[in-house]
Structure formats: C-alpha cells, structure tokens
Amino acid sequence: MESFAVIVNGDSMWPSLKDGETIQVQSYQGQSLEINNIVVFRDPRNHSRTCIKRVKRIESDGYFVEGDNPDPTASTDSHNYGLIEPSLIIGFKR
C-alpha cells in the first residue's frame, strides 16, 4: 500500500501530534476505517486546505472527526462542518 508524508500544521491534534511534526499515512482508496484512526482529508469548506483529525464516529453517510486537543476552541472539526464524506479523504493512519 502506498504511503506519503504529511506535516502537521497547528495544535488541533496536540498532544498526539505536534505542530511541525511529520507523519506517514497510507493512501486512502476506499479501505474500511475504524474509530480512532487518524485521517487526512480535504476541508469540506475549502478543498485547497488539508486537515488532520481523528475518527470519532462512523455513520452510513460519512465520518465524524475531531481534533485531539482538549481545548474545544483549538480545533475546527465535525462540530463545525459535519460529517466528512469518504470522497474527501486522501490518507489515514491506524
């Protein structure tokens, strides 16, 4: 399976992932995702922006994702833009 590097930008995934850290993710090609997987996806409101969040809930029409940062103002996630459609996902990490 193909993988690629992603550089974390911001503190939404702190303390799990830190700003400036590089992580390796697998290319997403429709694989089954699980709760707690980390996903890299196109922001549903601005497709030129890439986001990294954790899968918290799986529903029939998408994934509910959240940042790990305990400060609720530190992450823009499914609380703001709803479920993530699988077509927006470009990579994941188990």
Write down the pLDDT at residue 69.
Answer: 97
- CA dist 26 and 69 (Å) reads 23
- Mean pLDDT, consecutive 10-residue segments, the chain of 94 residues? 94 97 97 98 95 97 97 93 97 97
Kindly state the tokens that stand for 12: 């939404």
Kindly state the tokens that stand for 80: 């703001």
- CA dist 47 and 5 (Å) reads 19
> Which CATH code, of 2.60.120.260, 3.30.540.10, 2.60.40.1840, 2.10.109.10, is assigned to 3-93?
2.10.109.10
Write down the pLDDT at residue 71.
Answer: 94
pTM beyond 0.85: the answer is yes
